[in-house]
């Protein structure tokens, strides 16, 4: 079975993320969306909210699972029995950063491969950081987010 980890903070999950997940499902039998918890970061949206959003988006696809983890992503990969890490690449700068991490991961765990998928042009400018900034200042983030996430944000505002 080809098990893949798609790691990130997903704060919040964007249409760019879901595009990478959806295309990754053509490559893997099981795809675990791993929400990394970093004690040095304060997310805008609660971990439970982010998990719930992803579960709702993929409720009809048993190949997608959601889990949170702390520590090294490569260790979580081993824990899952995943042989692949999936990463989305928007720009050359993303590739340089991600390749450095992939090289370190390959040194630590030679049996785990990092797979890069380039984003489709319509999503290449979407980043969770940008979405959070737009949201923080009252802008419309609907063009960048799945409807489930928008519904959750509307509930939070009330």
* pLDDT per residue as tens digits for the range 52-64: 999 999 999 999 9
Q: Which CATH class is domain 3-157?
A: alpha beta
In contact, 2 and 26? CB cutoff 8 Å: no
Tell me the C-alpha distance between 18 and 108, whole Å: 28
Helix pair angle (92-108, 73-80), 10° resolution: 60
- The number of C-alpha atoms within 13 Å of 128 and in the hemisphere containing its C-beta is 15
pLDDT for the residue numbered 38:
85
102/117 Cα distance (integer angstroms): 14
Give SS3 for 37.
coil
Using DSSP, state whether 135 is helix, strand or coil: helix
The predicted pLDDT at position 41 comes to 82
Catalytic residue IDs: 17, 41, 90, 128
- 32's CB contacts (< 8 A; 6+ apart) are 3, 4, 5, 6, 64, 65, 66, 67, 80, 82
Taking residue 100's Cβ as centre, other Cβ atoms within 10 Å add up to 10
The partner residues of 36 in beta bridges, in order of sequence, read 69
Look at residue 24 in the predicted model and tell me its pLDDT: 98
Residue numbers in the chain where pLDDT is lower than 70: 158
The domain spans of the chain are 3-157
């Amino acid at each position: 079975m080809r098990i893949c980890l798609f790691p990130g903070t997903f704060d919040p999950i964007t249409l760019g993320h879901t595009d990478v997940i959806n295309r990754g499902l053509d490559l893997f039998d099981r795809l675990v969306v791993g929400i990394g918890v970093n004690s040095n970061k304060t997310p805008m949206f609660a971990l439970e909210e982010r998990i719930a959003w992803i579960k709702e988006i993929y409720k009809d696809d048993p190949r997608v699972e959601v889990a949170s983890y702390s520590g090294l992503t490569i260790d979580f990969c081993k824990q899952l029995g995943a042989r692949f890490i999936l990463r989305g690449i928007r720009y050359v700068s993303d590739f340089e950063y991600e390749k450095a991490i992939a090289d370190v991961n390959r040194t630590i765990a030679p049996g785990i491969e990092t797979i890069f998928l380039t984003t489709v042009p319509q999503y290449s400018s979407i980043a969770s950081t940008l979405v959070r900034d737009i949201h923080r200042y009252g802008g419309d983030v609907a063009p960048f987010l799945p409807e489930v996430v928008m519904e959750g944000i509307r509930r939070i505002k009330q």
